[in-house]
Amino acid sequence: MTVTHTVRPYESYVYAYPHKTAYRPLAERPGGRPALDELWAGERKDALSLYMHIPFCEVRCGFCNLFTRIGAPDELTSRYLDALERQASAVRDALGDAEPVRFAAAAFGGGTPTFLTAGELDRLCDIAEKRMGADLRSVPLSVETSPSTATADRLAVLAERGATRISIGVQSFVEAEARAAVRPQHAADVEQALGAIRDTSIPVLNIDLIYGIDGQTERTWRTSLDAALRWRPEELYLYPLYVRPLTALGRRSPGEADAAWDEQRLRLYRAGRDHLLAQGYEQVSMRMFRRTDAPRAEGPDDYACQTDGMIGLGCGARSYTSRLHYSFDYAVRMGEVRGIIDAYTATADFSRAEVGRYTDGDEARRRHLLQSVLQARGMPVDAYRERFGTSPYEDFPEELARFDSRGWLDTATRDLLRLSPEGLAYSDALGPELFSPAVRAAMAAYELK
């Protein structure tokens, strides 16, 4: 059932909950900054996820509001890796040895991890293995790259050290569209990078594409999709374009999307979805599509850093215990980002959490529902009940009734809470409606910097 409604489809991409803009300095709470060994005491440590953040890029795309800076002068990457190693040692000490510590998945993100040289990537892997104890060759290891940095020497290091997935942000194979998104790149460089990736033994290639770019049509969108499909990627992520504050596009364009842009993005999303389904891909979430014959790596379906038991290293990384999500300060403006990175590289003591947000019972329920229902396979109601002792229909009656009235839920069975195709299309509207009032208030009060 599809119901006509006036909800805007693109409110916010929910890649983590609570969002970093809801975090606050932990020193402001009674007792001050909590010690990591206290935070991790009693937590399960037998299936941790490791995320290592490299906050450097050669250029900053017009749509990007990630925590990253352009370039790394004065041996900044070496100083950053020095700090990353100090942080890794402190975190591993905090995890202790009272019970086995095991990592079940790892990822290098950014920024652009392959901004590092081949030798620096080797060192990054050493930090993961020798300091943290992660066996990169025996767990899924995902690494993000870009057309200009996916060079043969860097990729050879990653393949040798155990990378199982390379994700490359292409965004558009049409050069005019790349320029419109303030992403300077040439088609020949993109093709060369994809060829270099396919020349490695790394089994999973993911290509990121963006729809909703100024001037993009169904024809040009199909051109990018077919250009990507020629490489037979195991995964494809289709992202709607957002114009965010403090970004290059945010400075050039109105902050509010109009109805015509919403309609364009929805039309292109549906065209892309239908084309990929017809080409032998399955839909995993609104954004993620996987080739049905692709190898399956153990680990999360959607690389969104959502699981509890997440160890984040680097000044843009988050860590998740069952009770607290924590990180370092967050910014988008270049001067602020540079200041945070400089402060990180000068830090000697990484034994305490800096900024974060505690997650109580209600927030844990919201987060579980969010990260489950936004996956195409849905959420077994019994699994929710086993964890929380209640039903999602009892905990969120108004929200679920509202979603049902809009045709966003698959009503075939109440035992599996799953979105309809229309609900998946409106994931970026549905997700924010599950934010708690407290998180909404904290995000609204956050001062952008």
Measured CA distances, 14 to 130, 286, 306, 326, 377 (Å): 33, 11, 10, 17, 17
pLDDT in tens, 198-241: 999 999 999 999 999 988 999 999 999 999 999 999 999 999 99
- Residue 280 backbone dihedrals phi, psi, to 5 degrees: 90, 25
CA 193-292-379 angle, 5° bins: 110
pLDDT tens-digit map of 20-73: 899 999 987 777 899 999 999 999 999 999 999 999 877 655 445 566 667 677
pLDDT, residue 68, reads 63
Is pLDDT of 134 > 50? yes
pLDDT of residue 246: 42
Q: What is this structure's pTM?
A: 0.92
Question: How far apart are the two ends of the chain, measured CA to CA in Å?
Answer: 43
Which of 47-51, 152-156, 303-307 shows the lowest per-residue confidence on average (mean pLDDT)? Answer: 303-307
Residue whose structure tokens are 């020629």:
230
In this structure, the chain runs to a length of 449
> With 90 as the cut, is the pLDDT of residue 410 above it?
yes
